[in-house]
Structure formats: C-alpha cells, structure tokens
A = this chain, B = another copy of it.
Amino acid sequence: MTSQAADGPEPVTATRRSKLTPQREQEFFDAVLEQIRECGYEAVTMEGVAASTRCSKSTLYRQWKTKPQFVVAALRSRRTARLAGIDTGSLADDLREAARATGRWSTNDTKLLQALGHAVTGDEDLARALREALIDPEIEALREILRRGVERGEVRAGHPALEYVPAQMFGVIRARPVVDGQYADQDYLVRFVEAAVLPALGLVHDPPQTQAAVHGMTGR
C-alpha cells in the first residue's frame, strides 16, 4: 500500500526477469509468509505480495491457482526440523538445548502460527501444511529426545509428565505473549525448562550438581 512506485512508464529498476528461478520463488514465499505474520492470513492479498516482490499478480496466479494453494506452497518450502539432531547424551541438557533452539525461531513462528491458527480450521490442506511445516517435526523431535531419556533410564517409562512436555513447550510459546506481553525467547524458555519441565520429570536441578553426577555429564 505504501509503494507508490510508478509515475510514468519508467523502466527504472523494472528489470524484466525471465523464467522463475527457485530463488525467485523463495522470495515470493518469504514475502507471503511475512505478510501473513504482519497482517494475518485473511488480510494477505496477492497484490500485496506482488508489490512487495515486484512481480505481477499474473505471475503468482500462473504458478499457483489460488491464494490458499500459494500459501500452502510457501509453508511447504519452510519445512525444517529445527529440533532435530539434538543429542547431548543427557535428557536435561537435550531439553535445555531444545529450549534454546526453540527460542531462536519462536518469535517468527509464533506469529505465523497465530496468524494461521484460525484459518486452518476451514482449510484442510492449509492445516496439514502448517502441521507438517511447523508442528509435527518439532513434536516428533521432542518425543525422540524424551524417548532417548527413557532408554537411558533418566526417566522411567510411562512417567506421567512425559506426555505433556510437547504441549508445554508449544504452550508457553503461545501463552507468554498474552500472559506477559512479550514473545518467549531463548532465556525464558530455558528458565521455564529448568523451573517447570525438568522438576516435573524428576530431573530437579535445585541441588545444582546432583544432576551432573547422575550420568557423568557429557553436555557440549
């Protein structure tokens, strides 16, 4: 809405581009996700995306039939398991590291989740894409972390708190903005894990070094 570009038929930076490169597509995806974060799903317009990427509406509609399909494609481009690969050898350290990793992207992705949260209730494809892009991989990675902790005997299998760890992590991320008025960052999430998650799992850190003694400490 702000880009009042044209005052005449000026070929200024209007570099005519040829066939879309994957990088160019990614620009579209980044732009639409950013617009979703800022304006919400409903308020996103193809025209706005076109303007912010200096392409034309036609180009977008040529590649993707409709706005929902475009957004779905954008979400798919974003699939990354950010919690995958965490394996310090200690459940407590894994969870701390997961908190740190989560804090790195939580602001951006919280906005996205928030903005799409209701739209997905009416669009099954969108819902699936959102789950596959932002939610399922992280939940699965968390469960894997917990599973390894159980295998190592750090927590007994079937410990009642195990079931709630993923919901807790996702939960505070979404709840903190409304409770405290700010997004959950790395610091907050690590403190939360220390103060609530680990104690609930019986991995108390109150006596600071008791923990390390348990398993010989291999963290980082």
Contact = CB atoms under 8 A, between A and B. Distances in A.
Indicate the size class of the contact surface on chain A.
35 or more
Contact of A219 (B40, B114, B155, B160): B155
Contacts of A214: 202-204, 217
Contacts of A219: 153-156
Nearest to A215: B217
Contacts of A194: 160
Given A42-B43, A211-B202, A195 B164 contact: yes
A34 to B, nearest CB: 14
A155 to B, nearest CB: 6
Main secondary structure of the interface of A (DSSP, over half): helix
A171 B164 contact: no
13 contacts: A39-B122, A118-B118, A154-B213, A156-B213, A160-B191, A166-B179, A168-B168, A171-B172, A171-B173, A174-B174, A196-B197, A199-B200, A214-B217
Contacts of A204: 214
